[in-house]
């Protein structure tokens, strides 16, 4: 397929997600650094190009009728990166949210954040809260950005909340079931996770959506994140459509 065809292909995939029985997909966006290194460019350029891939992918997901797209933008372990890189990532995020809010509103996209984002810079937290509130009633695709997110941290927070509820006598500890835990997670208002994609050839979950991925289909591609686009997303969805999901049955 030519590059021109590739770019005009997104509308051709309209409605692909429901046609595949797919409601919620998540992506571990990996390979920005390698994309830049292959071009002898600084890592920042790879992250910047990664933001363009975020834009393209969100538009494609919306065109394809996906209910929820969850993106791993900054993990609770990413603080271990050099200070400059952390600051670059926060700057890109700030710019992305500010620049794209009008597009979210025009396209009926709801923004949601998962992870302990309240520890980020106060101006960023304020900006996020404002946009989350302004898009809260949008009924199209929910764009979920995982920020300072770690699945183990999410489960610790959920466990603490349940333990506190049990201590107040609101829930009987012996009667706690999976649904109680689900309800305490950051993702409680999202459809179940159907498909988890990781780019760049790495095949691990890196502390992302560990509970939610229990029955998700996994899809790994060698494509580096900055090169990921609507056609890459459609390929992942088409692969999902061939999977036989058994949820432990046969």
Give the residue closest to ligand FPP by C-beta: 33
Is 217 annotated in a binding site? The answer is yes
Beginning with the edge strand found earlier in the chain, give each strand of the sheet holding 142-149 in spatial order. 110-114, 142-149, 68-75, 24-28, 195-198, 217-220
Positions that interact with ligand FPP (CB under 6 A): 29-34, 47, 50-51, 54, 71, 73, 78, 89, 92-93, 96, 145, 225
- Closest CB to ligand FPP among 16 and 224? 224
Is 110 annotated in a binding site? The answer is no
Residue 60 C-beta: closest distance to ligand FPP, Å: 15
**Closest listed residue to residue 191, CA positions, set 235, 238, 144:** 144
Residue 119 C-beta: closest distance to ligand FPP, Å: 17
Is 65 annotated in a binding site? The answer is no
**Active site (catalytic) residues:** 30, 78
CA distances from 50 to 12, 30, 73, 229 (A): 24, 9, 10, 11
- What number of CA atoms fall less than 13 Å from residue 15's CA on the CB side? 1
The rounded distance, in Å, linking the Cα atoms of 157 and 148 is 13
- Closest CB to ligand FPP among 5 and 52? 52
Residue 80 C-beta: closest distance to ligand FPP, Å: 11
- Closest CB to ligand FPP among 152 and 159? 152
Phi, psi of 222 (to 5 degrees): -75, -15
Question: CB-based burial of residue 32 (10 Å sphere; 0-12 exposed, 13-18 middle, 19+ buried)?
Answer: buried
Is 250 annotated in a binding site? The answer is no
- Closest CB to ligand FPP among 96 and 211? 96
Binding-site sequence positions for substrate: 31-35, 43, 47, 75-77, 79, 81, 198, 204-206
């Amino acid at each position: 397929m030519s590059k021109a065809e590739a770019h005009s292909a997104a509308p051709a995939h309209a409605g692909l997600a429901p046609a595949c029985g797919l409601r919620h997909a998540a992506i571990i966006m990996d390979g920005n650094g390698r994309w830049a290194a292959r071009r002898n460019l600084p890592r920042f350029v790879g992250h910047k190009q990664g933001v363009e891939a975020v834009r393209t992918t969100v538009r494609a997901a919306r065109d394809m009728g996906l209910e929820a797209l969850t993106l791993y933008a900054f993990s609770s372990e990413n603080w271990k990166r050099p200070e400059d890189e952390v600051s670059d990532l926060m700057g890109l995020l700030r710019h992305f949210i500010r620049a794209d809010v009008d597009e979210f509103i025009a396209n009926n996209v709801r923004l949601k954040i998962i992870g302990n984002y309240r520890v980020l810079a106060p101006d960023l937290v304020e900006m996020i809260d404002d946009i989350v509130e302004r898009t809260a009633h949008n009924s199209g695709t929910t764009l979920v950005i995982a920020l300072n997110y770690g699945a183990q941290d999410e489960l610790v927070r959920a466990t603490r909340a349940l333990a506190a509820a049990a201590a107040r006598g609101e829930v009987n500890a012996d009667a706690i079931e999976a649904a109680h835990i689900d309800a305490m997670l950051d993702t409680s208002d999202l459809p179940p996770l159907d498909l988890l994609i990781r780019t760049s050839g790495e095949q691990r979950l890196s502390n992302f959506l560990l509970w939610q991925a229990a029955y998700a289909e996994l899809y790994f591609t060698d494509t580096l994140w900055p090169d990921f686009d609507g056609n890459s997303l459609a390929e992942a969805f088409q692969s999902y459509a061939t999977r036989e999901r058994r949820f432990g049955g046969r």
